């Protein structure tokens, strides 16, 4: 059976379209609201959603996503709770979902066990920012055997040989970081971004999706002039938290997320 991520990008390619992959912190402000946000984003026609599993020690997470993780962890939400929500969502929707989480969480649970649980819940792929390149081949085999994909991150400062090795190991798509460092909104994207994406796309033969620093429809338009899709995380999480901080109810948080994504989708070619 073809993975939902692979099907989504094959469908985009066939239509000559590009995709938007929003990042949503699981459990912000609660898991019922997260499920409703996923349902609203599915209705908007996003390509996939990155579901962030909160973790106490930030990896590449900027201050906004880190704050959202802290809020969720203070509520006592656990990995099993998030997977249970995914299973409920999967009964209603076929929207591709990627679990983005620290490999230390996976390692603690056990690679085989976690991948099996994720697949059973309805997760389609794992993004593990702190997975070492040395451990990646084993993880890739386990993930592939379960029918999931393993997109991996390529930094703009990675040497060519390392980029090629990462692209050859990963599956689903290549996650290109527009900037080195942590996630977060930025006013401008690097001038060499488009050239780097084209080079990786040609060398890997895989779809390339760009994340880190993307925060406007204009950014989406620029990125997707070369890439197959764009990821927006911090800007979306910020809008959700601003709505929450204003004392609004969960309906307003869902609407704020949907309105923001709807605006960013206007940048898609």
Domains in the chain, number: 1
- Peptide bond connecting 29 to the previous residue in cis, omega within 30 degrees of 0: yes
Does residue 78 belong to any structural domain of this protein?
yes
Residue-wise pLDDT tens digits, 16-42: 999 999 999 999 999 999 999 999 999
Residues designated as active site = 50, 61
Please give, one letter per residue, the 3-state secondary structure of the chain: CCCHHHHHHHHHHHHCCCEEEEEEECCCCCHHHHHHHHHHHHHHCCCCEEEECCCCCCCCCCHHHHHHHHHHHHCCCCHHHHHHHHHHHHCCCCCCEEEECCHHHHHHHCHHHHHHHHHHHCCCEEECCCCCCCCHHHHHHHHHHCCCECCEEECCCCCHHHHHHHHHHCCCCEEEECCCCCCCCCCCCCCCHHHHHHHHHHHHCCCEEEECCCCCHHHHHHHCCCCCEEEECHHHHHHHHHHHHCCCCHHHHHHHHHHHHHHHHHHCC
Give the model's pLDDT for residue 194.
84
Mean pLDDT of the 76-91 span:
97
pLDDT at 200 exceeding the cut of 70: yes
CB half-sphere exposure, 148, CA atoms < 13 A: 27
Instruction: Answer whether residue 60 is part of any domain.
Output: yes
| Domain annotation covers residue 210 | no
Q: What does the block give as tokens for 147?
A: 């029918």
**Mean pLDDT over residues 76-87, rounded?**
97
Which domain, by its residues, includes 64? Answer: 4-149+227-263
In the predicted model, what is the mean pLDDT of the chain?
Answer: 92
Residue 220 confidence (pLDDT): 94
Residue 112 lies in a domain: yes
> Do the domain assignments include residue 182?
no
Give mean pLDDT, residues 148-160: 93
What integer pLDDT is reported at residue 182 of this predicted model? 40
72 class by beta-carbon count within 10 Å (0-12 exposed, 13-18 middle, 19+ buried):
buried
Mean pLDDT, rounded, for 136-141: 96
CATH code (residue 66) = 3.20.20.70
End-to-end CA distance of the chain: 29
Q: Tokens standing for 141?
A: 């085999």
Residue 243 lies in a domain: yes
What local confidence, expressed as pLDDT, does residue 193 receive?
A: 86
**According to the model, what pLDDT value does residue 59 have?**
64
Compute the average pLDDT of residues 91-108: 96
Residue 157: pLDDT above 70? yes
Asked if residue 202 belongs to a domain, the reply is no
Lowest-pLDDT range, 27-41, 139-153, 175-189?
175-189
In a domain, residue 177? The reply is no
pLDDT bin (cut points 50, 70, 90) of residue 212 is confident
């Amino acid at each position: 059976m073809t993975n939902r991520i692979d099907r989504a990008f094959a469908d985009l390619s066939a239509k000559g379209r590009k995709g938007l992959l929003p990042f949503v912190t699981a459990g912000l402000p609660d898991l019922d609201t997260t499920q409703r946000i996923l349902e609203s984003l599915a209705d908007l026609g996003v390509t996939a959603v990155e579901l962030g599993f909160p973790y106490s020690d930030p990896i590449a997470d900027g201050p906004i996503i880190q704050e959202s993780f802290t809020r969720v962890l203070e509520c006592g939400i656990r990995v099993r709770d998030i997977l249970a929500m995914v299973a409920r969502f999967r009964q209603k929707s076929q929207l591709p979902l990627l679990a983005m989480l620290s490999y230390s969480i996976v390692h603690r649970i056990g690679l085989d066990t976690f991948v099996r649980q994720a697949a059973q819940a309805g997760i389609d792929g794992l993004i593990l920012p702190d997975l070492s390149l040395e451990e990646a081949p084993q993880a890739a085999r386990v993930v592939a055997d379960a029918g999931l994909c393993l997109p991996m991150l390529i930094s703009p400062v990675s040497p060519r040989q390392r980029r090629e090795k990462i692209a050859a190991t990963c599956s689903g798509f290549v996650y290109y970081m527009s900037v080195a460092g942590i996630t977060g909104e930025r006013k401008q994207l690097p001038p060499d971004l488009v050239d780097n994406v084209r080079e990786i796309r040609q060398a890997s033969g895989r779809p390339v999706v760009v994340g880190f620093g993307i925060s406007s429809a204009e950014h989406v338009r620029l990125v997707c002039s070369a890439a197959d899709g764009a990821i927006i995380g911090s800007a979306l999480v910020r809008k959700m938290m601003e709505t929450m901080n204003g004392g609004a109810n969960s309906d307003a948080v869902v609407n704020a997320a949907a309105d923001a994504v709807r605006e960013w989708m206007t940048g898609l070619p």
